[in-house]
Amino acid sequence: MTLKKYWLLCRKVLLLLLMDLYFILSQIFGGFAVVFACLSYFCNKKNFLLVQTCANMFFAIGFFFVGGYLAFVVSLINTLRSLSFYFCQRINFKFTYIYLIYFIVCASVATGLLWTGPLDIMPFVTSVIFSCIYFIKNMQLTRYLTLAPNTILSIYSAVMRAYTNSLLGVVEILFTIVSIVRYVKKNKKDKIRKFDENADIENDKLQ
C-alpha cells in the first residue's frame, strides 16, 4: 500500500469516527433536552418557562451535531424569544407584538441564508407558530395549537437523525394530550357540579 492510499484510508476512517461521534453527541444533547422538558412539567409557573428554555438550548445543540444548521440557528432564536418572554414576565414588562415580528423576521433571515431544500421550511413554520402562541391567552387553545408544531419537529428531527430530539417532540405531544384530557374532565365535572347546585336551588324554591 502506497503512502497516498494509506493516508486516504486513514482519512476515511477518521471521518467515519467523527461522524459517529457527532451522532452520539447529538443524541446526548437531545437526551438532556428530554430530561429538562419532563422536569418543566413539574415546575411552578414561574420556573416552567426557564426550564423549558434550557430544554430548547440542548434541543438546538442536538441539531448542530447532525448538520441541521438551520434548525440549530432557528432553535437558538426560539430560545432567545423564550428568555425574553421570561424576563419580561419577571419585571412585569409587556411582551408586545413588536417582539413577535422581530423574532419572526430573525427566523426568516436565518431560513433565507441557510436554506438547503424544502425540508428546511419545517423548523421555520414551527418557529412562527410557537411565536404566535405566546400571545394567545386561552390555555386550552394554546395546548391544541402546540400539537401541530411538535409533530412537525418530531418528524423533522427523525429525518435529520436527531432521534432524541424527535423523542422530545413525542414527549411534548404526550404531555399536551394529558393536559387536554385533564382539562376536559375537570371542566365536565365543574359543569355537572354547577348543574346540581342549580337543581338544588330550584328545588328549594319549589319547597
pLDDT in tens, 4-40: 555 555 555 555 555 678 888 898 999 999 999 888 8
pLDDT for residue 51: 85
pLDDT for residue 94: 76
d(CA 28, CA 59): 10
What the block records as the C-alpha cell of 194 is 354547577
- C-alpha separations of 57 from 24, 32, 137, 190 in Å: 17, 10, 25, 39
pLDDT at 205 over 70: no
pLDDT for residue 91: 77
Question: With 0-12 CB in 10 A as exposed, 13-18 as middle and 19+ as buried, what is 73?
Answer: buried
Q: pLDDT band for 206, please (50, 70, 90 cuts).
A: very low
pLDDT per position as a tens digit, 124-146: 999 999 888 877 878 788 888 88
Tally the C-alpha atoms within 13 A of residue 140's C-alpha that lie toward its C-beta. Answer: 8
Tally the C-alpha atoms within 13 A of residue 112's C-alpha that lie toward its C-beta. Answer: 6
pLDDT (average), residues 155-161 = 92
Check: CB of residue 122 under 8 Å from CB of residue 153: yes
DSSP state of 91: T
Mean pLDDT of the chain: 81
pLDDT at 179 over 70: yes
For residue 149, the Cα-to-chain-centroid distance in whole angstroms is 8
